Amino acid sequence: MDQTSSAVPGAHQPLVRHDILFTVLALAILFLTIVPVGMAVFWLGFARGDSPCVMCWEQRIGMILISLVGLFVLRFGPKPKYIGMAVLIAAWGIFMGMRHTGMHAARDVGQGFSTEILGAHTYSWALFIYWVCVVVMGALLLMVRGEHLQTDPRTLRGIERLAGGAFLVVVGANIVQAFASTGPPPFMGQSDPVRFSFSPRHWTWSLEEWNPVRISLRGRWAVHKPDLVTVVSDPAVGPLVNLPPLTVKERKPLKLTLDGSPTDLAYDLATDQFLLTTAKGVYLTDGTLARVNRYTIIDPGFSVDVGRIAGTAFLDAGAVIAVGENKSYVILRPNDQASADSNFRFFLESRDRFDEISRSRFATVRARLLYIMSAAYDPASNAVYTVTVPNNRVKRLIVSRFDRRDLTLSEEYSPPLSPESGLTLGPNRALDELTVTGAAVADGQLFTLSAAYGTLLTIDLGLRQVVAAHAIPGLTRPTGIAIKGGELYIVDAAGMLTVVARPPAPYLLSRYRRTWGTASFGSK
Amino acid sequence: MEFLNLVLIFTTAFLVLRRPGRERLAFRLLVISTILMVFLFSVATRTGLLPGVNY
């Protein structure tokens, strides 16, 4: 043992250990103090003018606290309470890194907040550094022996004193930067801090973080799944006033044996079949909805989580698509020779009637963080359409179009009312209040049925405007709509089928009327 | 508030390095600094306490 090191005032019976444990720990403190924290304050801060945001400050302070615990261990030995503090601080640091990185992790390539270092933004490095701290702490704990658990303060050796000195210098510099950037209490760090300056004229001290706001666990991600129980179905109280009603021709219960409530409906003129879905089931029926021709029950949790199926449509070449509320989808193709064994992984029942072609997710931009309850296919443009439903945080009606070839977002918009349509919104009302649960395409127009206020919107796909709207009286929680000839077939959550007359073609035709305008008639 | 916390940390480190006989006080300051860090981060992120990603 080296007894030549200087004793420290206040140290009792100094116990000096030339132990690799303390040498490694001192080096680790030096690294953590100088590389991330020291460079952040001297290079990024003082030299380049970078000011940490409020979250960066706390992450930086967390690293400083881990170094500080290291100094405790150098001086007093690896007592359990110090190890406990180090683990707690590092765990909180990882959480802070996840919280901060989570804000930006899904942005496009190269995008982020503040400065980039070696191809990653600073908050990303914080997550990595805390992870490294945990790894290093684990390795150091493996080196702890019984004789390290002393009770008296140690006398620090050269490299340990160097670690302590570096710590004081770096923390002192951070105190200077914190005073300039955040100010004395009660001022605190800012979400969007001003560039660092040594000149007081450029200092901005803020209390904005103390402003009262709603506390939430998940913030804008706390979106409730859609539920039709509370929707009001009376068209008379809807956002659109004086809607002409459609004539109800027939209303009767479905005679089909299903594994749950219907969630959507589609019709295919070429095969004269209906396509009906439940939360997990896909059913092909005859043209009168009297007999199931084939069905299957999808395993919604296998691979991509499709969740609750909410929309469906016939696609090209006999394929069908079932879309979950979460915009995940599965594409199936009927096959009389399907292998039940091969399809075991995809289907829970009737595994020899369909093949699964693909399963993935629609990605949206405007419709992000909004669920959908409908899907439609337009063969003319070879595109799948979905329409959003409002939720507890956001009320927006967004039409999304996905190219069938790559099933990638191609267009999104909130359709306004066509000025020539004569439609009028009530005072302080908006189409965003509608809860579209069914959609179908015909003649270049997207027919969307809202369970809220029993309203049928006709959206011209060329104009991207609502060109007509009608009330459908007597509907209760409708979940799907299909177009067959001159009639609309509507199913609801209670298993009722309502047939109404298809509205007359709007006098207003798309200025961009496409040659394929009539090709999609009767399809969905 | 970050300024205050860093001053506390500096004081704690000074006690550890130069006044090891005040270990109990130093440890209490360490705990206070840690709690202050957790509190300030929570204040800053209270509109969405959990990481804002898909769960």
Q: Is A72 on the interface with B (CB under 8 A)?
A: yes
CB within 8 Å: A102 and B51: yes
Q: Judge: A189–B40 Cβ closer than 8 Å, yes or no.
A: yes
DSSP codes of every residue in A305-338: ---SEEEEEE-GGG-EEEEETTSEEEEEEE-TT-
Please indicate whether, in this complex, the C-beta atoms of A153 and B20 are within 8 angstroms of each other.
yes
pLDDT score for A7: 46
The token pair that represents A37 in the structure block: 């924290």
Asked if the ipTM is above 0.95, the reply is: yes
Distance from CA of B28 to the nearest CA of A (A): 11
Under the banding of pLDDT at 50, 70 and 90, the label for residue A4 is very low
Are the beta carbons of A175 and B30 separated by less than 8 Å? Answer: no
CB-CB under 8 Å, A172 with B1: no
Q: How far is A333 from chain B (nearest CA, A)?
A: 31
Q: What pLDDT does residue A509 have? A: 54
Note whether A38 contacts B: Cβ–Cβ < 8 A: no
The answer, for A386 touching chain B at a CB cutoff of 8 Å, is no
- From chain A, the residues in CB contact with B4 under 8 A are 184-185
Give the closest-approach CA distance of B3 to chain A in angstroms: 5
Beta partners for residue A500, in sequence order: A248, A488
3-class secondary structure per residue, A129-147: HHHHHHHHHHHHHHCCCHH
pLDDT above 90 (res A123):
no
Contact B9 A65 (CB under 8 A): yes
Mean pLDDT of A147-155: 83
The reply to whether residue A168 touches residue B17, judged by beta carbons under 8 angstroms, is: yes
Contact A123, A104 (CB under 8 A): yes
* Chain B residue with the nearest C-alpha to that of A8: B18
Does the CB of A10 have a partner CB in chain B at under 8 Å? yes
pLDDT at A266 > cutoff 50:
yes
Q: What share of chain A is helix, strand, coil (3-state, %, to 5)?
A: 30, 25, 45
Using an 8 Å Cβ cutoff, are A178 and A193 in contact?
Answer: no
Question: Given this model, what pLDDT does residue A18 score?
Answer: 52
* pLDDT at res. A521: 39
Residues of chain B with pLDDT under 50: none
Least confident piece of the model among A10-14, A378-382, A413-417, A486-490: A10-14
Closest CA of chain A from B18, distance in Å = 7
- Report chain B's terminal Cα–Cα distance, integer Å: 32
* Interface contact B34-A85, CB threshold 8 A: yes
**Residue A122 clears pLDDT 90, i.e. is over it:** no
Q: pLDDT tens across A62-91, in order?
A: 999 999 999 999 999 999 999 999 999 999
Distance from CA of B30 to the nearest CA of A (A): 8
> CB B44 to CB A11 under 8 A?
no
Query: What would you measure as the largest C-alpha separation in chain A, in angstroms?
Result: 102
User: Is it the case that residue A1 has pLDDT exceeding 70?
Assistant: no
- Model pLDDT, residue A507: 57
Say yes or no for a CB contact (<8 Å) between B17 and A153: no
DSSP helix/strand/coil, A280:
coil
Mutate to test the interface with A, among B4, B36, B41 (most CBs of A within 10 A): B41
Q: How confident is the model at residue A523 (pLDDT cuts 50, 70, 90)?
A: very low
The 10 Å Cβ neighbour count of residue A225 is 11
Pick from A118-122, A392-396, B45-49: least confident: A118-122
Res A514 pLDDT > 50: no
Q: Looking at residue A112, what is its pLDDT?
A: 86
A71 vs B13, B31, B54: nearest CB: B13
* Residue B9: per-residue pLDDT: 98
Min Cα distance A307 → chain B (Å) is 14
Q: Which two tokens stand for residue A515?
A: 């040659």
The mean pLDDT of A482-506, rounded to a whole number, is 93
pLDDT at A109: 84
Task: Find the closest chain B residue to A169 by CA distance.
Answer: B10
Does A88 reach chain B within 8 Å, measured CB to CB?
yes
Give the closest residue to A299 by CA, choosing from A357, A338, A361, A344. A344
Residue A116: predicted pLDDT: 83
Per-chain mean pLDDT for chain A: 91
Looking at the partner chain, which of A62, A187, A214 has a beta carbon nearest the beta carbon of B47? A214
Pairwise CB contact (< 8 Å): A9 & B49? no
Closest CA to A28 of A185, A151, A135: A135
Q: What is the mean pLDDT of chain B?
A: 95
- Strands in A354-361's sheet, in edge-to-edge order, are A309-314, A320-324, A328-334, A354-361
Report the share of chain A in percent with pLDDT over 70.
93
Tell me, what's the pLDDT at A56? 93
All residues of chain A having their beta carbon less than 8 Å from the beta carbon of residue B23 are: 75-76, 153
Question: Which residues of chain B does A221 touch, with a Cβ-Cβ cutoff of 8 Å?
Answer: 48, 52-55
pLDDT band at A517 (very low <50, low <70, confident <90, very high): very low
| Chain A: residue whose CA lies nearest to B51 | A99
A81 lies within 8 A of chain B by CB: yes
Q: Which of residues 1-55 of B touch A (CB under 8 A)?
A: 1-7, 9-10, 12-14, 16-23, 26-27, 30-31, 33-34, 37-38, 40-41, 43-55
**pLDDT number for residue A3:** 38
pLDDT in tens, A25-61: 999 999 999 999 999 999 999 999 989 999 999 999 9
pLDDT greater at residue A515 or residue A61: A61
Q: What's the rounded mean pLDDT across residues A397-401?
A: 98
Q: Which two tokens stand for residue A494?
A: 């209670």
Residue A167 one-letter amino acid: F
Q: 197-226 in A: which are within 8 Å (CB) of B?
A: 209-210, 213-221
In tens, the pLDDT along A179-209 reads 999 999 999 999 888 899 999 999 999 999 9
Contacts A–B by Cβ distance under 8 A: 169
Mean predicted confidence (pLDDT) in A364-380: 96
> Quick one: closest CA in B to A99, which residue?
B51
The CA radius of gyration of chain A, in Å to the nearest whole number, is: 32
Q: Is A367 helix (H, G, I), strand (E, B) or coil?
A: coil
pLDDT of residue A316: 84
A179 contact B CB<8A: yes
pLDDT at residue A518 is higher than 80:
no
Say if the Cβ atoms of A58 and B44 lie within 8 Å: yes
| pLDDT of res. A318 | 87
Structure tokens at A483: 């177009």
